[in-house]
Structure 1
Amino acid sequence: MQQILVVEDEAVIRSALRRLLERSGYAVAEAGSVTEAEGNHALGEFDLIISDLRLPGAPGTDLIRKAGKVPVLIMTSYASLRSAVDSMRMGAVDYIAKPFDHGDMLNAVKRIINDHPRQDATAMQTVSAGTGDGPAIVGDCPSMQRLLEHVAKFAPTDSTVLVLGETGTGKELVARAIHRQSRRAGEALICVNCAAIPETLIESELFGYEKGAFTGANTNRMGLIEAADGGTLFLDEIGELPMEAQARLLRFIQEGEIRRIGSVHSRKVNVRLICATHRDLQTLAAEGRFRQDLFYRINVLRLNLPALRDRGKDILYLAETLLARQTERFGRGTMYLSPRAIQAITTYQWPGNVRELEHAIERAVILTEGEEIDNETLGIDLELVNINRLRGERIGSPKKRQASHSNSDPQEDLSLEDYFQRFVIEHQDSMSETELAQKLGISRKCLWERRQRFEIPRKKSAPRGKKAAS
């Protein structure tokens, strides 16, 4: 039976809460103050502590430090956003305002206990990614704890790893963490974004070529797979790999050898492969858009990265970690998030995940004059898609968007996201991907990722030099 400690100085409220919880199958202990709770109970033996914020003597937030790994739910009759935010900043898992609805309380208790089982209630873990004091994977929610455990188990092996997750969830960071903890940590880690290399160049980039293999091949060139010999090769967005390159990659995985373009000799290589994608490869394979045999070869050890919106209190902790990193980077003094900024961060759905959060924090640090960062400088309301639309609606199809854009008058209050969609749709027939990216002031990779997010298909242009017969 799960055990809960209720710390409340008003006996009537304390008794009513105890009866409510006991009727739901919980074992409940009581205390009237922090001192009484600490003196009469072993705080570490509880699954959850529910405490009033205002108590005689020490405040209820003192229990956060004293309880260690046990989650603390703060109750407050002073239902100001400031007091609630301060409690969560100190480490409270959540807060609830008095008078509370019985159903809300029971739902909160059930959710917190499920998310923080006592056997998994470990301290916040970080895994260094890359070399030196580089970025780290940060997480304490159950899904991130499982991810970190799997990373630790997979890293010492040479088995192929497939990392699945939405754009911006940190797939490359996970690949770096695996490499860093592997026996190959002292060797090279080669990262390749398959979507950022033109189809005509992907094979020569991966496998290399011999002098004279094609026009412009003026010297021998080593491919990226060969450059990773002895180390690790990370293929990001492998779902975008052309079918021809998939066949050559399959031979490399099966035989452990590669052959440069234009060469008749194969070369043995010893490379650990990590692949990543935001796509459903199994569905693509069933539809004939990805080789099934290749899918089975790379789907050996699988890691699923949770979306940022599903990571609970990790979001606030991660935001403050990124804030500390950015203030140090830009040489700023102490900065902190305002209550409105924290409310925005914890309620916004973050379709771009950790990458979007990091960019929002970076922008806010640059724009903020004083020490307090407000939600406006985060750009959540001004630059990004409306929160309510993100929660309940899917962005329309490209054809619908194109029709609506062409049939409506230009608007002067377009958001940056709306402007991006309109610009790409209107100019993709007359501009190359490189030209579009340059006009928008972004990289080709960023352009591709935004195309995926807004479901804007890339136009297939006719090969140069071929004209319609006249």
Structure 2
Amino acid sequence: MSTQRVAVIEDEDIIRAALKRLLTRNGFEVDEAASIEQAKALDLAGYNLIVSDLRLPGGEGTDLISQAGDVPVLIMTSYASMRSAVEAMKKGAAEYIAKPFDHEEMLKTVKRLIKQQPTVRAAAPQATASPATDSVELDESPLGQLVGSCQPMQRLYKRLRKVAPADVTVLVQGESGTGKELVAKAIHELSARNSAEIVSVNCAAIPESLIEAELFGYEKGAFTGANTTRTGLVEAAEGGTLFLDEIGELPLEAQARLLRVLQEREVRRVGSVSARQVDIRLVAATHRNLRQLVDEGRFREDLYYRLQVIEIALPPLRERDRDVLEIAEHLLKKHCLRLGEDEVQFDQSARDMMLAYQWPGNVRELENAIQRALILAEDGFISADLLGIQHASEQVAVPQSTSEAAVDEKDLSLSDYFTQFVLAHQNELSETELAKRLGISRKCLWERRNRYGIPRPKKKAQ
């Protein structure tokens, strides 16, 4: 096997010499440079890895990324700002490491990045198969179980193909029911970790008192009822991908533990005095505004920047044009097969209704409507009334009260109308009644209150 070549770009002589000795002793061929100008004189694309300081004479280490081509760039920084490290990752750095660095940590990171390099190079042509690099006319094919061909999804597929092979943390943002877990699975399947498992965790579904034990495991006797030692879900994802859905619901104590996992690549079980090394990739998802949660003191800022390395926004169903029909056909075939039903089709009224409806619950709501209609269908066709969404649409368009009469409904966006309707009726209707009048679930009503910043009415003093 040929010797692996590493270029070290560092202006501090002592650090550069120490790093060269460390890598040379471990079998790497090392060339060095002390500035941007010297680095550009090297054939950076011919190395297996570039290790560069962030701040250099003549520019920044990230300026070398374009010259390096497909070669991964590891950025070193003595600057404590997490923001600068995140910006380096956004510019294309494969990873960053803080100075002063631990020799063992440096070696482990170097070996991991070089090992991943062939995967990244193999995936790159697929991601940029067309010379129109930013065009949405690439006709990108769907990934995994994702369905849809609209322009927002075309851009999503292209971004996923670029992001998935790079072993970095990904934050998926989107409304509830848009398919964030499907995005996480697509990322896992396209990564070098696809031979291992993806472990999916819904942070909102685990009681706050149990979340740390579930995620990080515990030692026997750590608390009442801990009769045996248990491995946590983080350790269960060893070598693979950990998907944390609804990460905005994670308690602050668990956030601190998760931050250590991301920073130090180690996990300490509840009740244990020692830590264990873990090798995982984190994909997180949320429908919440994490920046707002940070400002409110409900989410750690350092963890937020760790998660924000790569952001992927998943469009809601109402912004995906005719994708709703494509998804509907896919879901109909899926559930016909599952239920052992003969082939069933949507009639024109159902198609028109699905296109006109706003789908506040997104793909999840669409799937529920199709399952219900499939069970009720009798003649091999699904009509609009069987979908059960026409009633919901009519309920949203309820007559305006006198206080609302001054505002023309046609001039309001969906969010404006929703806000005005809730504010006008929340004092006289319960949350259940409000949700029913709007044709949505109580959970969806709660989510929209948070998204649009609509406060609940104060209870009257008894």
Normalised-by-shorter TM-score class: 0.5 to 0.7
> What's the offset of the Cα at 1:405?
2.8
> 2:392·2:439 contact (CA, 8 Å) conserved in 1?
no
Q: Is 1:127 paired with 2:122?
A: no
Corresponding residue of 1:76:
none
C-alpha spacing 1:382/1:149, structure 2 compared with 1 (3 Å): same
Which 5+ residue runs of structure 2 have no aligned equivalent?
1-132, 399-412, 457-462
Q: Distance in 1 between matches of 2:428 and 2:219?
A: 51
C-alpha spacing 1:374/1:295, structure 2 compared with 1 (3 Å): same
Letter paired with 2:280: V
Q: Is 1:171 paired with 2:180?
A: yes
> What's the offset of the Cα at 1:220?
0.2
> 1:188·1:231 contact (CA, 8 Å) conserved in 2?
yes
Structure 1 residues 308-365: Cα deviation after superposition (integer angstroms, max 9, x where no partner): 0001121111111211222222222222111111111001000111111111111111
Letter paired with 1:140: S
Structure 1 residues 174-231: Cα deviation after superposition (integer angstroms, max 9, x where no partner): 0001111111111111101111111111111111100001100000010110111111
Q: Distance in 2 between matches of 1:255 and 1:147?
A: 31
3-state SS, counterpart of residue 382 of structure 1: helix
With normalisation by structure 2, the TM-score equals: 0.61
> What's the offset of the Cα at 1:159?
0.2
C-alpha spacing 1:331/1:385, structure 2 compared with 1 (3 Å): same
Counterpart pick for 1:291 among 295, 300, 311: 300
Corresponding residue of 1:268:
277
> 1:202·1:245 contact (CA, 8 Å) conserved in 2?
yes
Q: Distance in 2 between matches of 1:457 and 1:221?
A: 42
> 1:384·1:415 contact (CA, 8 Å) conserved in 2?
no
Letter paired with 1:195: A
Counterpart pick for 1:137 among 123, 142, 146: 146
> What's the offset of the Cα at 1:416?
8.6
Letter paired with 2:307: I
Corresponding residue of 1:282:
291
Q: Distance in 1 between matches of 2:250 and 2:281?
A: 18
> 1:281·1:290 contact (CA, 8 Å) conserved in 2?
yes
Structure 1 residues 355-407: Cα deviation after superposition (integer angstroms, max 9, x where no partner): 11111111111111111111111000235673547835125698976631369
3-state SS, counterpart of residue 329 of structure 1: helix
C-alpha spacing 1:118/1:294, structure 2 compared with 1 (3 Å): closer
> 1:209·1:223 contact (CA, 8 Å) conserved in 2?
yes
Letter paired with 1:127: L
The 5 A counterparts of 1:286-325 are 286-325=295-334
Q: Distance in 1 between matches of 2:268 and 2:193?
A: 23
> What's the offset of the Cα at 1:146?
0.9
Letter paired with 2:248: G
Give the length in aligned residue pairs. 306
C-alpha spacing 1:335/1:118, structure 2 compared with 1 (3 Å): farther
Letter paired with 2:447: Q
Q: Distance in 2 between matches of 1:297 and 1:118?
A: 27
Letter paired with 1:145: Q
Q: Distance in 2 between matches of 1:143 and 1:306?
A: 7
The 5 A counterparts of 1:173-322 are 173-322=182-331
Q: Distance in 2 between matches of 1:343 and 1:118?
A: 33
Q: Is 1:403 paired with 2:427?
A: yes
Q: Distance in 2 between matches of 1:325 and 1:148?
A: 22
Corresponding residue of 1:327:
336
Indicate the percent of aligned positions where both proteins have the same amino acid: 50
> What's the offset of the Cα at 1:452?
2.4
C-alpha spacing 1:322/1:259, structure 2 compared with 1 (3 Å): same
Corresponding residue of 2:418:
394
3-state SS, counterpart of residue 248 of structure 1: helix
C-alpha spacing 1:320/1:419, structure 2 compared with 1 (3 Å): closer
Counterpart pick for 1:452 among 424, 447, 462: 447
Which 5+ residue runs of structure 1 have no aligned equivalent?
1-116, 129-135, 422-446, 459-470
Q: Distance in 2 between matches of 1:148 and 1:167?
A: 20
Q: Distance in 2 between matches of 1:397 and 1:282?
A: 27
Q: Distance in 2 between matches of 1:146 and 1:371?
A: 36
> 1:211·1:217 contact (CA, 8 Å) conserved in 2?
yes
> 2:204·2:250 contact (CA, 8 Å) conserved in 1?
yes
With normalisation by structure 1, the TM-score equals: 0.60
> What's the offset of the Cα at 1:120?
3.5
The 5 A counterparts of 1:7-18 are none
> What's the offset of the Cα at 1:289?
1.8
> 1:126·1:139 contact (CA, 8 Å) conserved in 2?
yes
Q: Distance in 2 between matches of 1:273 and 1:191?
A: 10
Q: Is 1:348 paired with 2:364?
A: no
3-state SS, counterpart of residue 391 of structure 2: coil
Q: Distance in 1 between matches of 2:182 and 2:441?
A: 27
Q: Is 1:149 paired with 2:158?
A: yes
Corresponding residue of 1:364:
373
Corresponding residue of 2:25:
none
Structure 1 residues 133-175: Cα deviation after superposition (integer angstroms, max 9, x where no partner): xxx1112111101111111111112100000000011000000
C-alpha spacing 1:274/1:322, structure 2 compared with 1 (3 Å): same
Q: Distance in 1 between matches of 2:286 and 2:154?
A: 21
3-state SS, counterpart of residue 283 of structure 2: strand
C-alpha spacing 1:257/1:337, structure 2 compared with 1 (3 Å): same
